[in-house]
Structure 1
């Protein structure tokens, strides 16, 4: 069962890779079906479930959009894509990442409204969206994030940093 599920994680990540311009060839020799997804650059798997639990591709010079398929990484607890050149919107399928505790999308070029679906991520402790091009208001649904400790919206809203401590 775990092998089949890990194959699902692998397929998901390969779909994600297909939407990325990798000018530094980070994935060239590493993200392939010839090695276990748990040994890929930027990936960690949980010892308990043997599934992808961390996706950390921060500061790797990557460019592109976020594939909706990332919502299939059901054991993901940390998603860090900060310091790249991702753009467009954050797909609503990411709301399926119910175990997510850290979401860092800072220093990219995301735009549009801050998604309402963030409120569905009840386990989030750290939501870091600073230095993007989001517009609009801060959604009230963020109040549903009962475990939220840090909300960083930084420069996108006039160099304001908001921090929410344990309630």
Structure 2
């Protein structure tokens, strides 16, 4: 086999390995978010380690063509608990909505790690504490919906 073919094979194999690693990482991050959530109606029952390679089809999860998580919409699912700080590790996140649930506690300030965030919706939730002060970093933000039932300052 010529040298050029070996380079292609090595690049291909490293891409396949990193893609599988990325799938595993994204699924594990989603599962860590789920671990802080109370889901009495079972909307997130499909979020299981057994099917981590299909996380892009999990309820509320939207991915792009590269399987990067670009949307998380778990609105109106009768969820409670807290949003875990792992939310800040979804660097490709564009849309985030947890509206009309019963989440409490402070909102993780590292949500602003995803600088491409365009839509942020926590309407009708019950978050308390300080609103993340670094929201000004989100230059792409177009929609900031925070109406009702929370005491973020």
TM-score, normalization by structure 1: 0.76
Cα displacement string for residues 44-97 of structure 1 (whole angstroms, at most 9, x for unaligned residues): 1101x2211110000000001110001111111100100000011111111101
Give the alignment partner of residue 7 of structure 1, picking from 24, 30, 41: 24
8 Å CA contact retained: 1:2, 1:51:
no
Which ranges of structure 2 fall in alignment gaps of 5 or more residues?
1-17
More helix by share: 2
| 3-state SS in 1 of match to 2:127 | strand
What's 2:5 paired with? none
More strand by share: 1
> SS of 1:53's equivalent?
strand
Report what 1:31 is aligned to.
Answer: 47
SS, match of residue 112 in structure 2: helix
TM-score normalised over the length of structure 2: 0.82
Runs of 4+ in 1 over 6 A off after TM superposition: none
Q: Helix, strand or coil: the match of 1:37?
A: helix
Q: Figure out how many residues of one structure are paired with residues of the other and give that number.
A: 134
Aligned equivalents of 1:32 and 1:110: distance in 2? 26
Unmatched 5+ residue regions in structure 1?
137-167
CA contact (8 A) 2:71 2:96 kept: yes
Query: What CA RMSD, in Å, does the superposition of the two structures yield over aligned residues?
Result: 1.3
The one of 63, 68, 81 aligned to 1:45: 63
